[in-house]
C-alpha cells in the first residue's frame, strides 16, 4: 500500500512553515516551491520566503465527498495571500453558507487528515477571528 509519508515530508516547508519560492526575476511567489517560475519561466532563480498568513478568498467550492479526517460538507477555497501567493486548502470553522468571495481569512495549522493512526498536519484557512493589532 502506498503511503503519504514521503509526500508530507517533502512538502513540510510548505505545509508547516508556509515557505514559498519568490522568483528573483519577476518577484512573484510560487507556492509550492518549484524549479521553473510559473509566471516568467525563469529557472532555478528563487529565494525562500515565508508567506503572509493573511489573505482573501479568490474562489471556492463546497466539498461533500472528502477523505477521512475531514468533516463534510466543508468549503475548499483558493486563497490569495496579502503578498500575492495563491494557496488551495480547506476552510475550517466556517459553515458552507458563510463563505463568500473576497472573504478575509487567516492561514492556520490544522490536522488535514489521518492515516494508519498518524496525523497529517497542514494549513487550512479560517475566517479572521479578530484584529491582530492587539492592544492598539
Least distance from C-beta 79 to another protein, angstroms? Answer: 17
C-beta closer to another protein: residue 6 or 130 = 130
Burial class (CB in 10 A: 0-12, 13-18, 19+), 20: buried
Residue with Cβ nearer another protein (22 or 124): 124
- In the complex, the residues that contact another protein under the rule CB under 8 A are 12, 16-17, 50, 53, 69-71, 92-93, 108-112, 119, 121, 124, 129-130, 132, 134-136
* Longest CA pairwise span in the chain (Å): 53
User: What is the closest distance, in whole angstroms, from the C-beta atom of residue 95 to another protein in the complex?
Assistant: 10
Amino acid at each position: 500500500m502506498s503511503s503519504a509519508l514521503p509526500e508530507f515530508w517533502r512538502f513540510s516547508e510548505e505545509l508547516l512553515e508556509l515557505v514559498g519560492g519568490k522568483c528573483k526575476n519577476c518577484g512573484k511567489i510560487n507556492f509550492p516551491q518549484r524549479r521553473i517560475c510559473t509566471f516568467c519561466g525563469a529557472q532555478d532563480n528563487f529565494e525562500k520566503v515565508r508567506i503572509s498568513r493573511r489573505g482573501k478568498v479568490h474562489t471556492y467550492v463546497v466539498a461533500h465527498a472528502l477523505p477521512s479526517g475531514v468533516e463534510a460538507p466543508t468549503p475548499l477555497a483558493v486563497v490569495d495571500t496579502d503578498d500575492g501567493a495563491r494557496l488551495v486548502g480547506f476552510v475550517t470553522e466556517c459553515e458552507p453558507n458563510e463563505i463568500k468571495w473576497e472573504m478575509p481569512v487567516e492561514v492556520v495549522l490544522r490536522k488535514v487528515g489521518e492515516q494508519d493512526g498518524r496525523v497529517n498536519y497542514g494549513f487550512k484557512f479560517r475566517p479572521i477571528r479578530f484584529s491582530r493589532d492587539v492592544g492598539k
